[in-house]
């Protein structure tokens, strides 16, 4: 009977303390809540995350893992005066919910909705734009330095995952940040994973200190005991605080890499225990110098399918909440076809090596890794190292293939130019997610690789239309071409018409007897085909030219264009420095007497569906058709 009364009493107390996100003025009200209320909010946040991402798609596992950490940060720090910088930023969904964006959260990653990444134009609580890895410590260093220069007693806090710690820029930031007495705090969110499983020496190093939670707990227990000791307690506690190295060496006979770089190291602590998190964050604040707090979390925490398979739920499409199954399961796409073909070639040729920057599954290299394990290299989130590593393999007679997302390749331009091209080393790049990628927005669109790579001497670029052409291009890139060779292909599945799937390594010219020539390459050729059909129905006859090798520009492509009165180039890439602008220059130099114009992407492309983004850029079938009609009547823009 007593037990039943206690249970009823507990339920009444919990009901009296009930609180909901919608009722709070955030983030300010968080600091007035009890731990019971905070834990209740954490449950509500996890439910909101799962329900929303199941409808919009997005990054789920990483966000589920930082719910308590984000809550603790906003209770211990005062945003926006204190700056919280999220590395990569894909784990900032809880931060968005706790900074007043609950009502807009259903628009996550949708056109005109809230971004899946931090965006200062969206909220004053988003301290810095981020979408790529390993930048947060450098950003926080600059903010902390600015606060010191402006005599502001605020904090700059970088939240970075252990996966992002494999990026070299992290150590540039740590090396710089540990030298100065700024209010800089780095939160190392250690969930044992990046997108693919963490690899390398750093992962082993973190594992070596991950289990030693006793250090911080023992240190706090000793300090609290000394604080309560009459007369000598507080002075001794102060000495202990400034003598942390002595205590650590006494307990574990070691100092950490972070200590040696000039940071106070605290941790590891349980990243799902609010009391522990808040205590360590308050201790970190009290130092008023660079501090690194090592926090252990579980990726996917609170949603069993994501906990069991955090890699699959890192970035996921829409899914069924009850089963965890995605609405659309795509077993075959450009990434998997590339990976499978590379694995097939790798079985036959021991010279072929495959390289990924922590994206084994995202780029389809799991097949090669399984069959050619000794020649598969996951270098972590280190695109610069990956390119130079590939160049070195090439210099020793191997055939290295680096599969990388287009937007991540941007980080390795110097290595492509200096380490590969100058020596004309034979390196093959599989440029995945080329073109518009959709809901991830500005930071992830693959629109700059053509402009970047085509500025590099001794480079070749292919843009296959379909799976079979992708296989053909890969084989030619490995065995016939020299120097830097790039094969770029889009996210998703082959949507080309079967009638146009005959593989080509150069160009394909489709004649209908028209005096207008439409030119493009890659995925949007599908849109051009539909535009041509629509135009023909209105009495406007157009021929088509599809380029497969898009750089260097083929002389026969320029010659084919000379036959027409009007040439219009459509390009799913940036206008400046793209192939369309290079074609314009080549036609001008050749004395072309017809009219030439082009449609390409200008500026950054915000989040929207791929179809919506193509429409906005003038690259959908209907927009192409409208442009051609305008060009025919002399008023194209």
Rounded to an integer, what distance in angstroms lies between the CA atom of residue 152 and that of residue 80? 13
Instruction: Classify burial at 449, counting beta carbons within 10 Å of its beta carbon; exposed 0-12, middle 13-18, buried 19 or more.
Output: buried
Residue 161's DSSP bridge partners are 189
The strand ranges marked E within 327-469 are 352-356, 376-378, 399-405, 427-432, 459-462
Sheet of strand 156-161: strand arrangement: 83-86, 156-161, 184-190, 291-296, 264-270
Which 3-state string (H, E, C) describes 503-549? Answer: CCCCEEEECCCCCEEEEEEHHHHHHHHHHHHHHHHCCCCEEEEEECE
Residue 427, helix vs strand vs coil? strand
Q: How far is CA 364 from CA 203, 291, 374, in A?
A: 23, 38, 17
Helix (H) or strand (E) run with residue 144 in it: helix 136-149
- Residues designated catalytic: 299, 383, 411
Q: Cα Rg for the chain, rounded, in angstroms?
A: 28
Half-sphere exposure of 348 (CA within 13 A, CB side): 8
β pairing state of 399-405 and 427-432 = parallel
Q: Cβ distance 538 to 514 under 8 Å? A: no
Structure tokens at 479: 């065995």
Element (H, E) at 252: helix 244-252
- Report the Cα–Cα distance between both ends of the chain, in Å, rounded: 82
- The answer to whether 410 and 379 have CB atoms below 8 angstroms apart is no
Helix (H, G, I), strand (E, B) or coil at 564: coil
Query: Which 3 state secondary structure label does DSSP give 574?
Result: strand
């Amino acid at each position: 009977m007593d037990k039943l009364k206690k249970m009823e009493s507990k339920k009444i107390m919990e009901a009296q303390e009930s609180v909901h996100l919608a009722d709070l003025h955030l983030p300010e009200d968080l600091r007035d809540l009890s731990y019971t209320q905070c834990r209740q909010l954490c449950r509500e946040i996890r439910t909101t995350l799962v329900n929303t991402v199941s409808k919009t798609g997005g990054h789920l596992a990483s966000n589920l893992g930082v719910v308590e950490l984000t809550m603790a940060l906003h209770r211990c720090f005062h945003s926006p005066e204190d700056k919280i910088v999220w590395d990569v930023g894909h784990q900032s969904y809880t931060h968005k919910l706790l900074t007043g964006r609950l009502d807009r959260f259903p628009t996550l990653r949708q056109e005109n909705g809230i971004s899946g990444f931090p965006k200062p134009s969206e909220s004053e609580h988003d301290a810095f734009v981020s979408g790529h890895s390993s930048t947060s410590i450098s950003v926080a260093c600059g903010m902390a330095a600015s606060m010191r220069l402006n005599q502001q007693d605020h904090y700059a806090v970088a939240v970075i995952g252990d996966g992002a710690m494999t990026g070299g820029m992290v150590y540039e930031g740590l090396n710089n940040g540990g030298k100065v007495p700024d209010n800089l705090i780095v939160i190392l969110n250690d969930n044992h994973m990046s997108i693919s499983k963490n690899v390398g020496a750093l992962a082993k190093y973190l594992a070596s200190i991950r289990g030693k939670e006793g250090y911080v707990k023992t240190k706090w227990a000793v300090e609290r005991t000394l604080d309560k000791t009459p007369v000598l307690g507080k002075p001794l506690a102060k000495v202990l605080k400034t003598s942390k190295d002595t205590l650590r060496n006494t307990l574990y006979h070691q100092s950490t890499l972070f200590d040696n770089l000039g940071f106070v190291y605290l941790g590891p602590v349980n990243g799902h225990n609010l009391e522990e998190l808040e205590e360590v964050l308050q201790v970190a604040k009290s130092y008023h110098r660079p501090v690194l707090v090592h926090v252990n979390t579980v990726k996917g925490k609170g949603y069993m399918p994501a906990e069991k398979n955090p890699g699959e739920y890192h970035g996921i499409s829409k899914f069924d909440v009850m089963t965890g199954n995605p609405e659309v399961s795509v077993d075959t796409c450009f990434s998997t076809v590339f990976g499978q073909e590379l694995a097939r070639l790798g079985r036959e040729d021991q010279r072929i090596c495959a390289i990924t920057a922590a994206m084994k599954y995202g780029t389809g290299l799991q097949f090669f890794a399984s069959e050619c394990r000794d020649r598969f290299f996951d270098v972590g989130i280190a695109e610069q190292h990956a390119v130079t590593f590939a160049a070195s393999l090439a210099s020793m007679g191997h055939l290295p293939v680096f599969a990388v997302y287009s937007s991540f390749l941007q980080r390795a331009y110097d290595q492509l130019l200096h380490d590969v091209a100058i020596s004309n080393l034979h390196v093959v790049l599989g440029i995945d997610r080329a073109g518009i990628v959709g809901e991830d927005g500005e930071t992830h669109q693959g629109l700059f690789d053509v402009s970047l790579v085509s500025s590099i001497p001794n480079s070749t670029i292919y843009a296959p239309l379909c799976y079979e052409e992708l296989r053909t291009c890969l084989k030619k890139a490995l065995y016939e071409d020299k120097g830097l060779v790039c094969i770029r292909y889009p996210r998703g599945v082959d949507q080309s018409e079967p009638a146009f799937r005959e593989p080509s390594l150069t160009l394909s010219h489709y004649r209908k007897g028209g005096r207008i020539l439409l030119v493009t390459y890659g995925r949007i050729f599908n849109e051009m085909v539909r535009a041509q059909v629509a135009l023909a129905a209105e009495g406007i006859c157009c021929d088509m030219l599809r380029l497969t090798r898009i750089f260097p520009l083929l002389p026969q492509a320029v010659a084919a264009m000379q036959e027409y009165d009007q040439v219009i180039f459509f390009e799913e890439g940036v206008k400046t420095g793209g192939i369309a602008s290079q074609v314009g220059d080549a036609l001008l130099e050749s004395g072309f007497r017809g009219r030439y114009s082009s449609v390409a992407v200008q500026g950054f492309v915000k989040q929207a569906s791929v179809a919506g983004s193509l429409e906005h850029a003038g690259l959908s079938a209907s927009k192409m058709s409208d442009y051609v009609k305008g060009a025919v009547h002399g008023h194209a823009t």
